[in-house]
């Protein structure tokens, strides 16, 4: 596993909420709800206009949580998320241009991989901890097991189709450090400001991780 302390925190938590935020006003209470449930990491995806402001707000107002920028696909976004306060970055795929920008920014990066060719590019660049995306659509645990044959040095964070019902299958694999999932922060709970539901889902996920890891 990567030596970066941020990656170690992802591993320790076991589950990473993948969050889409449309309204900056929900950023702080959402992050606090996750913390109350025992999850101290959050991935803010850059899929909405409010995402960057939400990322910056959480990074500065809820420092107890590890703020990860997700869906980073261009070099320009790398500098933007660093300025906003992101402590780590996740991408859906691998790009040499983004890789160079990440090195210049000196931020931990989990590029996305789904095939052996993706893994070869990541390994060649020294990126040994990657996002496996889209996990279920790319073959799930069977594909991860197959990839670990030629790439035993790699570690993964499967994301895409992961839920409370199958996260145990992924975490049972020694090459998996954590899983990412949107089920932890459902859109209806956010719309209704139902932070108790977010806290409960976070608690259930953390308890599942703890039970699996003994």
Q: What is the pTM of this model?
A: 0.96
Alpha carbon distance, N-terminus to C-terminus of the chain: 20
Please confirm, yes or no, whether 43 is among the known catalytic residues: yes
Which domains does the chain possess? 5-208 (3.20.20.70)
Residue 1 predicted with pLDDT over 80: no
**What are the φ and ψ backbone dihedral angles of 12, each rounded to 5 degrees?**
-65, -35
Q: Is the dihedral of CA 162, 114, 80, 127 positive or negative?
A: positive
Instruction: Provide CB contacts within 8 A for 125, sequence distance 6+.
Output: 94, 96, 99
Q: How confident is the model at residue 131 (pLDDT cuts 50, 70, 90)?
A: very high
Could you tell me if 97 and 68 are in contact, meaning their C-beta atoms sit under 8 angstroms apart? no
| pLDDT at position 152 | 98
> Exposure string (b/e) for 47-80, b if CB count within 10 Å is 16 or more?
eeebbbbbbbbbbeebeebbbbbbbbeebebbeb
pLDDT at 3: 63
pLDDT tier for residue 214 given thresholds of 50, 70 and 90: confident
Tens-place pLDDT, residues 68-114: 999 999 999 999 999 999 999 999 999 999 999 999 999 999 999 99
CA–CA gap between residue 167 and residue 76 (Å, rounded):
33
The three-state DSSP-derived secondary structure of 145-173 is HHHCCCCCCCEEEEECCCCCCCHHHHHCC
- The continuous run of DSSP H or E covering 35 comes out as helix 27-36
Mean pLDDT, residues 58-75: 98
Q: Check 43, 56, 82, 155 and give the catalytic one.
A: 43
| Catalytic-labelled residue, pool 6, 56, 82, 131 | 131
Please report the pLDDT score of residue 137 as a whole number: 98
């Amino acid at each position: 596993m990567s030596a970066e302390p941020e990656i170690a925190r992802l591993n320790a938590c076991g589950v990473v909420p993948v969050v889409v935020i449309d309204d900056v006003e929900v950023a702080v209470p959402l992050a606090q709800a996750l913390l109350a449930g025992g999850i101290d990491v959050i991935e803010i995806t850059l899929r909405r206009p409010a995402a960057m402001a939400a990322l910056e707000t959480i990074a500065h107002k809820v420092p107890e949580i590890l703020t990860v920028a997700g869906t980073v696909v261009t070099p320009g976004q790398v500098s933007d998320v660093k300025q906003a306060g992101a402590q780590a970055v996740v991408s859906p795929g691998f790009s040499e241009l983004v890789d160079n920008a990440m090195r210049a920014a000196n931020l931990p990066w989990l590029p996305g991989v789904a095939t052996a060719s993706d893994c070869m590019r990541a390994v060649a660049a020294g990126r040994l901890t990657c996002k496996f995306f889209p996990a279920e659509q790319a073959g799930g645990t069977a594909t991860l097991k197959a990839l670990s044959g030629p790439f035993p040095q790699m570690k993964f964070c499967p994301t895409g189709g992961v839920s409370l019902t199958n996260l145990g299958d992924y975490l049972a694999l020694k090459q998996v450090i954590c899983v990412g999932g949107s089920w932890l922060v459902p859109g209806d709970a956010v719309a209704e400001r139902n932070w108790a539901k977010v806290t409960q889902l976070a608690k259930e996920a953390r308890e599942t991780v703890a039970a699996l890891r003994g």
